[in-house]
């Protein structure tokens, strides 16, 4: 595995821990902006880190309302890696407090190295709900 792939996976691992901790600042530290997500066939965009950070309390409430307790990463594979961009194919499992899965999904994350720092800049998810869309705008192309 290349150093780029290892560094992207380490970045993802920190982001995933921050997500489970509901620590918006720590998530943002592992991201680049503008940040894009393709959910189903709809693009979502967070232009600034504040666009992502401000709605996180509402997102936490929505996660709890759907029964979320934690998200477990089942697998992470670097499908493509270069010196400044890495594609990670990830399988995740949203779980209830009792450890049962209520939503398993595949997702592709694209990490970029900008100014010497790795961060996720694009996600394409098969997640079955829109909880992740909080604070996103719909970009016009």
Contacts of 72 (CB under 8 A, 6+ apart): 92, 93, 95
The per-residue pLDDT for range 95-131, each reduced to its tens digit, is 999 999 999 999 999 999 999 999 999 999 988 665 5
How many other C-beta atoms lie within 10 A of the C-beta of residue 15?
A: 21
Domain limits at 100?
A: 3-128
Rounded to whole angstroms, the Cα distance separating 100 from 80 reads: 32
For residue 141, tell me if it sits in a domain.
no
Asked, for residue 38, whether it belongs to a domain, the answer is yes
Does a structural domain hold residue 31? yes
CATH number of the domain residue 85 falls in: 3.10.450.50
Report the C-alpha gap between 136 and 48 in whole angstroms: 10
> Does residue 36 lie within any of the structural domains?
yes
As for how many domains the chain has, the answer is 1
Residue 44 lies in a domain: yes
110: Cβ–Cβ under 8 A, 6 or more apart, which residues?
A: 85, 86, 87, 88, 120, 121, 122, 123
pLDDT digits (tens, 9 = 90+) for 50-95: 999 999 999 999 999 999 999 999 999 999 999 999 999 999 999 9
Position 49 in a domain: yes
Maximum Cα–Cα distance across the chain? 43
Asked whether residue 39 is domain-assigned, the answer is yes
Residue 138, domain member (yes or no): no
């Amino acid at each position: 595995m290349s150093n780029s792939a290892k560094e992207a996976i380490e970045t993802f691992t920190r982001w995933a821990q921050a997500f489970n901790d509901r620590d918006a600042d720590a998530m943002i530290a592992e991201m680049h902006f503008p940040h894009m997500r393709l959910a189903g066939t709809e693009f979502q965009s967070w232009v600034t880190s504040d666009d992502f950070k401000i709605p996180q309390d509402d997102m936490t409430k929505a996660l709890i309302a759907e029964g979320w307790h934690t998200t477990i990463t089942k697998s992470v594979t670097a499908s493509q890696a270069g010196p400044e961009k890495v594609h990670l194919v990830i399988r995740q499992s949203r779980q209830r407090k009792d450890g049962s899965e209520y939503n398993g999904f595949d997702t592709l994350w694209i990490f970029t190295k900008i100014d010497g720092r790795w961060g996720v800049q694009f996600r394409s998810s098969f997640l079955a709900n829109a909880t992740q869309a909080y604070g996103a705008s719909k970009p016009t192309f």
